[in-house]
A and B are shown apart, each in its own frame.
Chain A
Amino acid sequence: MAGQTRRKFLKRSAVAGGMAVLGPAGVSAAQADTQLCIARWTGNADVPMSEEATKLTEKAIEGLGGMGRFVKKGDVVWIKPNMAWNRAPEFAANTHPDIVGTLVRLCMDAGAKKVKVGDRTCHKAKESYPKSGIEAAAKTAGAEVVYLDDSRFREMALDGERLEKWLVYPEIVESDLVINVPIAKHHAIAKATVCMKNYMGIVGGNRGQWHQALATCLCDITAFMKPTLSVLDATRVLLRNGPTGGNLNDVKRMDTVAAGTDVVALDAFGAELLGNDPSEIESVVAGEKRGLGQMDYRKLAMKELTVA
Chain B
Amino acid sequence: MSSRTVAKKVIWARRLVQAACLLLFLWLVWYAGVHGSGEPLPVWVNAFFHIDPLILVGTWLASHALPVACLLALVTIAITVLLGRVFCGWVCPLGTVHNMAAWFRRYAKNLRRRTDPWSPWQRAKYLLLVALLVMAAFGSHWIGVFDPLSLLYRTTTTVLAPGTQYAVEDGATAVYQANPQVGPLKATSVTEPSYRFLRDHVFVRERPVFLGATLMTLVFVAIVLLNLYRPRFWCRYVCPLGALLGVCAKRSALRLVEKGSCVECGRCAMQCPAAASPEKPGGWRSMECFGCWNCVAVCHKDAITFGLRAPTKAPPEAQLDISKRAALCAGLTGAGAMVMMRLNPEAQARVYNPALIRPPGALDERGFLKRCVKCGACMRVCPTNALHPTGLEAGLEGIWTPRLVPRLGYCEYNCNLCGQMCPTEAIEPLSIEEKQKVKIGLATFDRARCLPFAYGRTCLICEEHCPTSPKAIYFVSTEVELRDGKKVVLKQPRVDPELCIGCGICESVCVFKDIPAIRVTSANETRHMGNQPILPGPSGSESWMDQSGPDAYGDEGSGSSEDSSDPYS
CB distance from A274 to the nearest CB of B (A): 7
Q: B120: shortest Cβ distance to chain A, in Å? A: 52
- Asked if B461 contacts A188 (CB within 8 A), the reply is no
- Are B465 and A244 in contact, with the CB atoms below 8 A? yes
- 1/0 per residue, CB under 8 A from A, across B445-470: the answer is 00000010000011111011111111
Is A130 on the interface with B (CB-CB < 8 A)?
yes
Q: Say if the beta carbon of A182 comes within 8 Å of chain B.
A: no
Q: Which residues of A contact B384 (CB under 8 A)?
A: 124
Tell me if A303 is interfacial: C-beta within 8 Å of chain B: no
Measured CB to CB, the nearest residue on chain A to B564 is A240
Q: Which residue of B lies closest to A245 (CB)?
A: B469
Closest approach, in angstroms, between the C-beta of B167 and any C-beta of chain A? 13
* B560 adjacent to A240 (CB under 8 Å): yes
Does the CB pair A241–B464 fall under 8 Å? no
The one of B204, B464, B565 in contact with A244, judged by C-beta atoms closer than 8 angstroms, is: B464
A176-193 to B contact mask, C-beta < 8 Å, 1/0: 000000000011110100
Q: Are A131 and B204 in contact (CB under 8 A)?
A: no
* Residue pair B206, A124 in contact (C-beta under 8 Å): yes
**A208 pairs with B511, CB closer than 8 A:** yes
Decide yes or no whether B119 CB sits under 8 A from chain A: no
Interface window among B145-153, B303-311, B339-347, B412-420: B412-420
Residue contact A123 to B412, C-beta cutoff 8 Å: yes
In the bound complex, residues from chain A placing their C-beta under 8 Å from that of B38 are 127, 130-131
B563 touches A239 (CB 8 A): yes
* Bound Cα distance A186, B560 (Å): 8
* Contact, CB under 8 Å: A276 / B206: no
Are A211 and B567 touching (Cβ within 8 A)?
no
* B residues less than 8 Å from A186 (CB atoms): 559-560, 563
For B470, the chain A residues whose CB sits under 8 A away are 240-241, 247
The answer to whether B433 has its CB under 8 Å from any CB of chain A is no
A191 contact from B413, B468, B559, Cβ within 8 A: B559
Interface contact B491-A189, CB-CB below 8 Å: yes
Interface string of A227-255 (1 = CB under 8 A from B): 00000000000011111111101111100
Q: Is A212 an interface residue (CB 8 A)?
A: yes
Q: Say which residue of B200, B412, B458, B469 sits within 8 Å of A214 (CB atoms).
A: B458
Cα of A131 to Cα of B414 in the assembled complex, Å: 10
Closest residue of chain B to A149, judged by CB? B199
- Whether A212 pairs with B491 at a CB distance below 8 angstroms is no
Tell me if B169 counts as interface (CB < 8 A to partner A): yes
| Residues in A62-115 with C-beta less than 8 Å from chain B | 86-87
Could you say which residues of chain A place their CB within 8 Å of the CB of B560? 186, 188, 240-241
B562 close to chain A: CB less than 8 A: yes
A96 vs B205: C-alpha distance when bound (angstroms) = 24
Q: Does B106 contact A (CB under 8 A)?
A: no
B475 within 8 A of A: yes
Q: Which of A124, A152, A244, A251 contacts B467 (CB 8 A)?
A: A244
Of A86, A240, A253, the contact of B414 (CB 8 Å cutoff): A86
Give A108-149 as 1s and 0s: 1 = Cβ < 8 Å from B's Cβ atoms.
000000000000001111110011000000000000000101
Chain B residue nearest in CB terms to A246: B469
Contact A86/B37 with A212-B451, A275-B565 known, Cβ cut-off 8 Å: yes
> What total of chain A residues lie within 8 Å of the partner, measured CB to CB?
44
Do A246 and B464 touch across chains, with their CB atoms under 8 A apart?
A: no
Give a binary string over B466-486; 1 marks a CB under 8 Å from any A CB, 0 the rest.
111111000100000000000
Is the pair B511, A246 in contact by a Cβ cutoff of 8 Å?
A: no
A206 at the interface (CB under 8 A from B): yes
Instruction: Give the residues in chain B near A214, CB-CB below 8 Å.
Output: 458
Q: Which of B182-226 contact A (CB under 8 A)?
A: 199-200, 204-206
Q: Does A151 contact B (CB under 8 A)?
A: yes
Q: Is the CB of A252 within 8 A of B464?
A: no
User: Of all chain A residues, which has the CB nearest B513?
Assistant: A206
Question: Does A126 contact B562, Cβ atoms closer than 8 Å?
Answer: no
Closest to B172 in A: A151
Q: Give the residue among A86, A206, A240, A252 with the most B Cβ atoms within 10 A.
A: A240
B274 is an interface residue with CB less than 8 A from chain A = no
Q: Does B550 contact A (CB under 8 A)?
A: yes
B94 within 8 A of A: no
How many residues on B have C-beta within 8 angstroms of the other chain's C-beta atoms? Answer: 48
User: Residue A209 at the B interface, CB < 8 A?
Assistant: yes
Q: Are B464 and A188 in contact (CB under 8 A)?
A: yes
Cβ contacts under 8 Å, B469 to chain A? 241, 244-247, 250
Closest to B205 in A: A126
- A208→B459 contact, CB < 8 A: yes
Q: Is the CB of B414 within 8 A of A275?
A: no
Tell me which of B413, B459, B466 contacts A212 (CB under 8 A). Answer: B459
Contacts of B566 in A (CB 8 A): 249
Q: Collect the chain A residues with CB atoms within 8 Å of residue B457's CB.
A: 212
| A240:B563 contact, CB within 8 angstroms | yes
Q: Are B383's CB and A239's CB within 8 A? A: no
A150 interface residue (CB < 8 Å to B): yes
Q: Which residues does chain A contribute within 8 Å of B531, judged by CB atoms? A: none
Tell yes or no: B532 within 8 A of A by CB: no
Write the B1-44 contact mask toward A (1 if CB under 8 angstroms, else 0). Answer: 00000000000000000000000000000000000111000000
Q: Does B558 contact A (CB under 8 A)?
A: yes
A252 to B414, CA, bound (A): 22
Interface check B509, CB cutoff 8 A: yes
Partner of B460, one of A122, A123, A211, A253: A211
* Chain B residues positioned under 8 Å from A124 (CB to CB): 205-206, 383-384, 412
Closest to B34 in A: A126
Contact A86 B169 (CB under 8 A): no
Bound-state Cα–Cα, A125 to B466, Å? 17
The listed residue (B199, B562, B567) touching A250 by CB distance below 8 A is B567
Cβ-defined partner of B567 (8 Å) among A188, A243, A251, A276 = A251
A188 to B553 Cα, complex, angstroms:
11
- Give bound CA distance, A147 to B205, whole Å: 10
**Would A127 and B173 count as touching, CB distance under 8 A?**
no
Whether A86 pairs with B413 at a CB distance below 8 angstroms is: yes
* Bitwise interface map of A from 207 to 229 toward B, beta carbon under 8 Å scored 1, else 0: 01101111000000000000000
Find chain B residues with CB under 8 A from A125 CB: 206
Residues of B within 8 A of A130 (CB): 36, 38
Are B204 and A126 in touch, CB under 8 angstroms?
yes
Please name all residues of chain A whose beta carbon is closer than 8 Å to the beta carbon of B459 when the two chains form the complex. Answer: 208, 211-212
Name the distance in Å between B432's Cβ and chain A's nearest Cβ.
11
Whole-angstrom CA separation of A242 from B206 in the bound complex: 26
- Please indicate the chain A residues that have their CB under 8 angstroms from the CB of B464 in the complex: 122, 187-189, 211, 243-244
* Contact residues in B for A243 (Cβ distance below 8 Å): 464
With both beta carbons as reference points, the residue of chain B lying nearest to A86 in the complex is identified as B414
Chain B residues within 8 Å of A126, by CB: 36, 204-206, 383
Complex CA–CA separation, A152 to B176 (angstroms): 9
Contact A211 B461 (CB under 8 A): yes
Q: Is there an interface contact between B173 and A151, defined as CB atoms closer than 8 Å?
A: yes
Contact A188 B491 (CB under 8 A): yes
User: A126-B383, A130-B36, A240-B560 are known contacts; what are 7 more A-B pairs with Cβ within 8 Å?
Assistant: A131-B414, A188-B559, A212-B451, A244-B465, A246-B469, A251-B567, A276-B562
Could you write out 14 A-B pairs with CB less than 8 Å apart? Answer: A86-B37, A87-B414, A124-B412, A125-B206, A126-B204, A149-B199, A186-B563, A187-B464, A208-B461, A211-B458, A211-B461, A212-B458, A250-B469, A253-B567
3 closest cross-chain pairs (CB), A and B: A252-B567, A247-B469, A246-B469
